[in-house]
Structure 1
Amino acid sequence: SGIGNRESGIGNRESGIGNRESGIGNRESGIGNRESGIGNREQGIGNREQGTGNREQGTGNREQIRGLS
């Protein structure tokens, strides 16, 4: 029967979620490096990185060319 050897197009699909870049990860706010007359404190809010931007999903057999953009 033709059911045993069929191929579905679900295994090799590419979704635009895996390699997206969000403008939240590398934004610079004017809060991190301000100078106040209280004594030069630094807050670690300015240049934080979130690991949400470049996640990889192990679904199917897709290949992504990530070095040659």
Structure 2
Amino acid sequence: EQGTGNREQGTGNREQGTGNREQGTGNREQGIGNRLQGTGYRLQGIGNRLQGTGYRLQGTGYREQGTGNREQVTGYRLQVTGYRLQVLGNLTFGY
């Protein structure tokens, strides 16, 4: 995975450029969610495990899709950010 990970870092630079926008909006949610994050570290700790397994599935996906990486890589990462929004959503509904 480290061998293929180098390729992901090369394409990841483009996505980090777009990711900054999401972090900009995410700051608002974190600002509101600081109270929830105090209790929500447990849920985030569990959520991180799910994301950790998700990256492994993506790691295998890169191997299968040699050339289609760029399009589908961005799609998977948008889904990953979507899961994070769902995790934040669960915290808001929980409290």
Q: Which band: TM-score by shorter chain?
A: 0.3 to 0.5
- TM-score, structure 1 normalization: 0.33
The structure that is helix-richer by fraction is 2
From the CA coordinates, give the structure whose radius of gyration is larger.
Answer: 1
